[in-house]
Structure 1
């Protein structure tokens, strides 16, 4: 089968299509015939060597949507089930950018009924990152939250999820993003930032770091999306970063919110698997709104 891999770090031209054996599921795992898988900035980071792994063949792709093709012992899914899942592809030889992917059965949820496979393929990584970041902030309804990078994939989901929880959301982004961010449910928008100490919490999807921390009130909370890159606590502000984890039950909740119209899945374009390097080049150019999706 075909798989997108990196054998040496570099730019988009480091992306290769390799022929590899079809993986076999072990106990508690399922194999999915991949129908679509989003390209995310973390894939570009793996490709460029930001996360290590020199000298290894590294697979790319975290988002999986497709059909269960084979099951291991004690896997609570059946061949033919249409599913979506998160495959944490950090330092592994085979990711979701492939014809087939093997994932733990407890990472799997049934696909949304209201969208096609391409759109469903944008949900797992970014949706789970957003909801797990909000869980870490632990805000009550009525609290004020500023989301940086609010027009991006993680930020956009965070805006929608927080607004759905009754949180007063301010979206931070480029001036031209205001209409989009407000359409996602933000009560307020800023391209300049906020007054110091003016919000209860910040979800820093744009990785602004200390400047965003200054906007949080004394005793508030800050959560980033790059583990280890968050600023240290000051003024009693609790700081942390989300390290996204596969969670089929939580993913199923997000699927329900997609079908209920709470979450919007945004696709910027599709590429066949063999043109993965072209998709990486487009992502590297910046300004993409929504996710680029690879289709085997």
Structure 2
């Protein structure tokens, strides 16, 4: 089979499409024939060597690429409930795997896979898993009635806005001025332009501060200053962890994939509470172009590889 890997860890220019054996599922695992796999910023980070640089995993000769996947169960190991032929979505959350979802087949643990949402094309279904899980788990860590979402036009931030509105929260969303229409369409109650003085802009709307922040843009202390005393600040992995000021609880979140949360997201997609967002599709052989385009920035939605 064909699979995309990073060996030189020098960014999009260095990723390689290789021929390798089709992987076999062990007990508790499923093999998925990949129909679509989104490209996420974490894929760029892996291809550039960030997990090794920051000590998240040891160096190795080859890193597999790709987290999100949608396809059909192709084979199963012992003890697996999913049936061959079932349409599924999954997320490959292990950093150090030699083969991942940017391939023609992928093997995942069964508890990182669930049925794909009914009535949704698999290309669409490949776009929400990683970002939706991150947003869902961030919001579960935020308490109270009001929330600031930074990076609200991005993958995680956009889902955080939609999910927060579904939970009945008042949402103040921060993004570039050019993204205001998109962010309001996602459901934001208030919009503040991304600025060097984010806290002041938020506190003009909520003078006492918001109950919590989902800091998808990793604004750090700028987002925390918008949170009330003893509130909550969920800081996504990727930047220095801000201090615990004014009794604020700070949680640095790295997504953990589980079947219950994946199934909850699938239901929310089916009922159109959250949307799927395909920016463009690429053949697996053109993956380097997709990676380069994502690295340039400004992509709204996901770029999806189709083997």
Give the superposed CA RMSD.
Answer: 1.3
SS in 2 for 1:37: strand
Which residue is equivalent to 2:55? none
Which residue is equivalent to 2:169? 167
Separation (CA, whole Å) in 2 of partners of 1:136 and 1:148: 16
SS in 2 for 1:34: strand
Which residue is equivalent to 1:276? 287
TM-score by length of 1: 0.96
Separation (CA, whole Å) in 1 of partners of 2:291 and 2:209: 38
Structure 2 stretches lacking a partner, 5+ long: 53-57
Q: After TM superposition, list the pairs within 5 Å mapping 1:50-89 onto structure 2.
A: 50-52=50-52, 53-89=58-94
Separation (CA, whole Å) in 2 of partners of 1:91 and 1:55: 8
SS in 1 for 2:51: coil
Asked if the contact 1:136–1:242 (Cα under 8 Å) also holds between the matched residues in 2, the reply is: no
Which residue is equivalent to 1:231? 242
Shift of 1:183: 0.8
**Aligned: 1:133 with 2:135:** no
Which residue is equivalent to 1:98? 103
Distance 1:186 1:256, change over 3 A: same
Which of 242, 253, 264 is the matching residue for 1:242? 253
Structure 1 stretch 24-33 or stretch 106-115: which is displaced more? 106-115
Distance 1:248 1:81, change over 3 A: same
Asked if the contact 1:157–1:263 (Cα under 8 Å) also holds between the matched residues in 2, the reply is: yes
Shift of 1:114: 2.6
Asked if the contact 1:197–1:214 (Cα under 8 Å) also holds between the matched residues in 2, the reply is: no
TM-score by length of 2: 0.93
Asked if the contact 2:30–2:108 (Cα under 8 Å) also holds between the matched residues in 1, the reply is: yes
